[in-house]
Structure 1
Amino acid sequence: MGTAVDASNKEVKKDVRVIFVLGGPGSGKGTQCANIVRQFGYTHLSAGDLLRAEIKSGSENGTMIQNMISEGKIVPSEVTIKLLQRAIEECGNDKFLIDGFPRNEENRAAFESVTGIVPDFVLFFDCSEEEMERRLLNRNQGREDDNIETIRKRFKVYMESTLPVIEHYNSRGKVRKIDAAKPVEAVFEDVNAVFASIDEKVAA
């Protein structure tokens, strides 16, 4: 279990368990995170949701994030990490799913350096590009980014940036790969088995 450490190397008050949840767009991460929260009591943190909430708050930090996004710039890792760190510290829970982060190796290295937290493991939803594309085009969420050109750009970014993060943790034996092409219920059976085995180890 990782111990959270702040930038001045003082330990945060509690030990926390962090699991990174990664997978391509349309791999079903959000659906499964909701199931894990319900079944195993984790707190679900989405980097994108935290950034959007900060913008909505109207804070100085939120305005800066909004301006960067409007100018097409990438929000610095430290900004996202500080939001994640604050959410972890302010939460009464000690078990967290961090969804869709780190997006690249720089995110990963910065997260471990700033927080002092090394994830217990990465839950990787593995799904073919064809299946993810089919799901994104079929879903009725009215999202502007669910058109074929944008979807393919998102796949390209994912393949180039996020897969190296998965490979990094895989080389350390920290990846639990889930076949996300199966039906939702079957995918959760596999997820359930991963988390049930963790709880057994903790109990032991």
Structure 2
Amino acid sequence: MGSVVDAANKEATESAHINKKVTVVFVLGGPGSGKGTQCANIVKHFGYTHLSAGDLLRAEQNSGSENGAMIKNVIKEGRIVPSEVTVKLLQRAMEQSANDKFLIDGFPRNQENRAAQENRAAFESVIGIEPEFVLFFDCSEEEMQKRILNRNQGREDDNMETIRKRFRTYIESSLPVIEYYNSKGKVRKIDATKPVEEVFEAVKDVFAPLNDKVAY
């Protein structure tokens, strides 16, 4: 088992940097922050490709490949998928895409602060680029909780404990990444407590300088 992981890490580390010029934006936000809705708006209006680290891992896991089997075993055992493996999947998705602008959703973050930092370092070293910025949807826990409960049609007793665990995981996994990039002046914080339309107006202000033409 270990040899499979080691081989995957070696392949990822030794791979060449991504072979085209790309713009990458990391997207972070808690459950109920509206991140998914805003990512869809960014894709529609600014022509980005939305890449979810979780979706890519699940797809690889179901592909029947050797890497997929390794990912499945690692997740089953409650361990963290090696950061280089996730980065390699992101790299492949970017290289196979005809686009050169990407939203990276759900990465780099993990349930351990150290792992989150390792993911960030792996992304920059393997792919050879830093993100243009980190788009951070800032929303109070109270507001996110209210939105999730409304979305779940009020099944409060069944979901409250799970919701709180999701909040804790989000805070523990995202803060080290936000703090690191904030120290480099790369965090663009959006007040996500406002209505969807107002939030996207703030998002447009952030993305407009990067785009010569906006598709409406």
- In the alignment, the residues of structure 1 paired with residue 207 and residue 144 of structure 2 have an alpha-carbon distance, to the nearest angstrom, of 24
1:9 is displaced (CA, Å) by 6.8
- Where does residue 42 of structure 2 map in the other structure? 36
Deviations 1:118-170 (CA, angstroms, capped at 9, x unpaired)? 000000000001111111222149xxxx8221221221122222111101111
Judging changes above 3 Å, is the alpha-carbon distance between structure 1 residues 42 and 156 closer, same or farther for their aligned structure 2 residues?
Answer: same
Judging changes above 3 Å, is the alpha-carbon distance between structure 1 residues 110 and 12 closer, same or farther for their aligned structure 2 residues?
Answer: closer
C-alpha contact 1:105 1:162 (8 A) present in aligned 2 = no
- Where does residue 26 of structure 1 map in the other structure? 32
C-alpha contact 1:7 1:115 (8 A) present in aligned 2 = no
Tell me, yes or no, if structure 1 residue 154 matches structure 2 residue 163.
no
Tell me, yes or no, if structure 1 residue 108 matches structure 2 residue 120.
yes
Amino acid in the other structure paired with 2:85? V
Q: Secondary structure at the match of 2:23?
A: strand
- In the alignment, the residues of structure 2 paired with residue 149 and residue 11 of structure 1 have an alpha-carbon distance, to the nearest angstrom, of 42
C-alpha contact 2:16 2:126 (8 A) present in aligned 1 = no
1:110 is displaced (CA, Å) by 1.5
- Where does residue 58 of structure 2 map in the other structure? 52
Aligned CA RMSD, in angstroms, stands at 1.9
C-alpha contact 2:18 2:91 (8 A) present in aligned 1 = no
Deviations 1:77-127 (CA, angstroms, capped at 9, x unpaired)? 111111101101111111000011111222111211221110000000000
Tell me, yes or no, if structure 1 residue 176 matches structure 2 residue 182.
no
Unaligned stretches of 5+ in structure 1? 1-5
- In the alignment, the residues of structure 2 paired with residue 47 and residue 147 of structure 1 have an alpha-carbon distance, to the nearest angstrom, of 25
If each structure's helix is expressed as a fraction of its own residues, which one has the higher value? 2
1:55 is displaced (CA, Å) by 1.6
Deviations 1:15-38 (CA, angstroms, capped at 9, x unpaired)? 110000011121111111110000
- In the alignment, the residues of structure 1 paired with residue 89 and residue 35 of structure 2 have an alpha-carbon distance, to the nearest angstrom, of 21
Match of 1:72 among 47, 71, 78: 78
Unaligned stretches of 5+ in structure 2? 1-11, 110-115
Judging changes above 3 Å, is the alpha-carbon distance between structure 1 residues 10 and 75 closer, same or farther for their aligned structure 2 residues?
Answer: closer
Amino acid in the other structure paired with 2:126? V
- In the alignment, the residues of structure 1 paired with residue 119 and residue 85 of structure 2 have an alpha-carbon distance, to the nearest angstrom, of 11
- In the alignment, the residues of structure 2 paired with residue 57 and residue 49 of structure 1 have an alpha-carbon distance, to the nearest angstrom, of 12
Tell me, yes or no, if structure 1 residue 122 matches structure 2 residue 141.
no
Amino acid in the other structure paired with 1:57? S
- In the alignment, the residues of structure 2 paired with residue 198 and residue 99 of structure 1 have an alpha-carbon distance, to the nearest angstrom, of 19
Amino acid in the other structure paired with 1:43? T
Q: Secondary structure at the match of 2:98?
A: coil
C-alpha contact 1:29 1:125 (8 A) present in aligned 2 = yes
Paired residues in the alignment total 192
- Where does residue 136 of structure 1 map in the other structure? 148
TM-score (norm 1): 0.88
- In the alignment, the residues of structure 2 paired with residue 12 and residue 85 of structure 1 have an alpha-carbon distance, to the nearest angstrom, of 7
Judging changes above 3 Å, is the alpha-carbon distance between structure 1 residues 39 and 120 closer, same or farther for their aligned structure 2 residues?
Answer: same
C-alpha contact 2:31 2:166 (8 A) present in aligned 1 = yes
- Where does residue 199 of structure 1 map in the other structure? 211
- In the alignment, the residues of structure 2 paired with residue 110 and residue 11 of structure 1 have an alpha-carbon distance, to the nearest angstrom, of 12
Amino acid in the other structure paired with 2:188? R
Q: Percent identity?
A: 74
